[in-house]
Amino acid sequence: MCGIVGYVGTDRSVEVLLGGLRRLEYRGYDSAGIAVIGGDGELRIRKHAGKLQILVDDVERQAMPNGGTGIGHTRWATHGSPTDANAHPHLGDNGKLALIHNGIIENFAELKAELLTAHPDTVFTSETDSEVAAHLVGYAFQETGDVTQALRAVVAKLHGAFTLLVMHQDQPGVVVGARRNSPLVIGLGEGENFLASDVAAFVEHTRRALAIGQDQIVTITSRTVSVIDFDGGSVEPEEFEVTWDVSAAEKGGWSSFMAKEISEEPEAVANTLLGRSTGGEVRLPELAGDDDRLKDINRIVILGCGTASYSGLLGKYAIEKWARIPVEVELSHEFRYRDPVLDARTLVISISQSGETMDTLMAVQHAKKAGVHTISVCNTQGATIARESDAVIYTYAGPEIAVASTKAFVAQVAALYLFGLHLARVRGTLDAGESAALLDELKSVPAKLATVLEQHDRIRQLAHWMADTRAVLFLGRHVGFPVALEGALKLKELAYIHAEGFAAGELKHGPIALIEPGQPVFVIVPSPRGKDSLHPKVVSNIQEIKARGARVLVIAEAGDAAVLPYADEVFTIPLASTMFEPMLAVAPLQIFAMELAAAKGLDVDRPRNLAKSVTVE
Ligand code: M6R
């Protein structure tokens, strides 16, 4: 979850590292620190608990000698509380070596005990697992005199997940990184090279990148990049070009990244659909050659966490309806520990915006070991989950910086619906006319979504009135249920308000006991049109809660008069058939959560205790 950046180039490490950390701060913001080898050849560090700005202010107040070699870290605390001492970098070899770490070293206690037996004078200044690695690499450097060899000797002893970056004062002009189950990419510049957890850290300097595989070590200088595996064998990394530029990762005048990202939802869906259909049929070139396999599968398991799992639920409804195949949705972290039944006719689809969520990565690896074909739906090019899956359907939502996922959600739903239509074509479960009509309707979502976003000011007003609210309930039925879950998650994580999403049909089985006068309840109401519409049932649910004094806040189709007598507020969505309603209904709930958090004076982009990508289990 931490963000890490390394640089070797001209004498501007301090600016490059602080700029990189600013773009990685979404990964963790408990503390930040940098280490630089100055022009005088001395290694110096600065680090502070709290947000990056504290470090930036300190570096500005007491200028730090610049140099061409440096590493930087922004932390999401695991071992040890967020203090100055626990902030990275950590030092080894009597202060001549600096190390930063993302992940968890599971056997750090044993390693520390061994280290203290071999070197009883070692002084630990933090409670972190990472400092153990710094000392181990420091002692290994004393034997090898080379950072790459020293790091290679140490990673062989580590259990767990890690990305480590190391530099040593006696080997200036070199930064070495190693990764296992934790992200690391290389940025290729002109006379300078970069290492980072995410391309966002260096995209303002270069869009040329190299992906590093599992269990590999990379050594960069200003002019060279070399990669080896943990056994020392040489590796040829795969080059890719970052498809977005730095402006996509800037706020561009919006009050928050989240506000900007919600406004980009129509574009995120449109870009995800772009070039993926021809003549009324979905075409997914990424699945070319898979038709026989897709005809043969008899079950799909969708994996994801948080918001990604809710887009997965919508994927289930669509795939089952259109391709007539059973689909289960499971939280990635529950999946592999219950010894799931898997066979060659199962297809696993993992969903992850970041492509680095450890729980999902582990679940994919588990499925692959069981011989299951895996497809990922991912928003980050070259991410670990994408690379480890047999195929990837990228969403093209652009970089999502705010910790709360918004545009990625609707883009994931679009990608899953494309997959559902593709599968239906391959399996012959929809006729051409139906399929073309559904595709057309999917393509109409961006324009409709843009009209939903026009209600932003009214939603803001409601959120401001409700700034003192202590609990909010969300009800939805069928495809409205995942929307209710997502609305509740957004409100919890952003506004720190107790929020629960329920399937409306479950109301009478317990949750209705929570309704008391004034209790706010958002209800996602399906369209009244269509012979099988669940509209009458949801309107009955509204009547039941209204009768008990609930404050009813409704998301309904424009012109739905049946809800008006009971609703305290109505936000409308344009006419859409059932499967597409969630892509429209979710935006008002995202905006509501964001505006309520803003009304409470909270940091909308960086809610407490969270990080954008959860790269530890
Ligand atoms: O990067 P991923 O899509 O794998 O992330 C999954 C969840 O951690 C993420 O959706 C999380 O629930 C967000 N904080 C929701 O806003």
Q: Is 487 in the pocket of ligand 1 (CB under 6 A)?
A: no
- pLDDT tens digits, one per residue of 340-399: 999 999 999 999 999 999 999 999 999 999 999 999 999 988 889 999 999 999 999 988
Is 305 a catalytic site residue?
no
CB 220, CB 186: distance < 8 Å: yes
Q: CA 44: distance to chain centroid?
A: 33
| 382 torsion bin: left (phi>0), alpha (psi -120 to 50), beta (else) | left
The pLDDT value recorded for residue 63 is: 84
> In the beta sheet, which residues pair with residue 175?
220
CB 379, CB 354: distance < 8 Å: yes
The best mutation among 405, 410, 412, 485 to test binding of ligand 1, ranked by most ligand atoms within 8 Å of the C-beta, falls on 405
The pLDDT value recorded for residue 78 is: 75
For the CA of 610, the nearest atom of ligand 1 = 14
For the CA of 612, the nearest atom of ligand 1 = 14
The pLDDT value recorded for residue 609 is: 87
Give 192 Cα–ligand 1 centroid separation in angstroms.
33
Q: CA 352: distance to chain centroid?
A: 6
For residues 597 and 158, what is the distance between their CA atoms, to the nearest angstrom? 41
pTM of structure: 0.83
Is 448 a catalytic site residue?
no
CA torsion, ordered 98, 104, 108, 109, to nearest 10 deg: 130
The list of the chain residues with pLDDT below 70 reads 1
* Rg, Å, the chain Cα set: 25
Give 351 Cα–ligand 1 centroid separation in angstroms.
10
- pLDDT tens digits, one per residue of 83-99: 999 999 999 999 999 99
Cβ-proximal residues to 423 (8 Å cutoff; 6+ apart), any chain: 294, 319, 322, 323, 325, 429
Residue 586 in tokens? 């979710």
- pLDDT tens digits, one per residue of 115-170: 999 999 999 999 999 999 999 999 999 999 999 999 999 999 999 889 999 999 99
The pLDDT value recorded for residue 608 is: 92
Q: What are the structural domains, with CATH classification, of the chain?
A: 3-248 (3.60.20.10), 251-451 (3.40.50.10490), 456-599 (3.40.50.10490)
The residue whose CA has the least distance to atom 14 of ligand 1 is: 404
Give the chain's mean pLDDT.
Answer: 94
The best mutation among 311, 353, 616 to test binding of ligand 1, ranked by most ligand atoms within 8 Å of the C-beta, falls on 353
CB 82, CB 31: distance < 8 Å: yes
The pLDDT value recorded for residue 617 is: 75
Give 235 Cα–ligand 1 centroid separation in angstroms.
32
Q: Is 527 in the pocket of ligand 1 (CB under 6 A)?
A: no
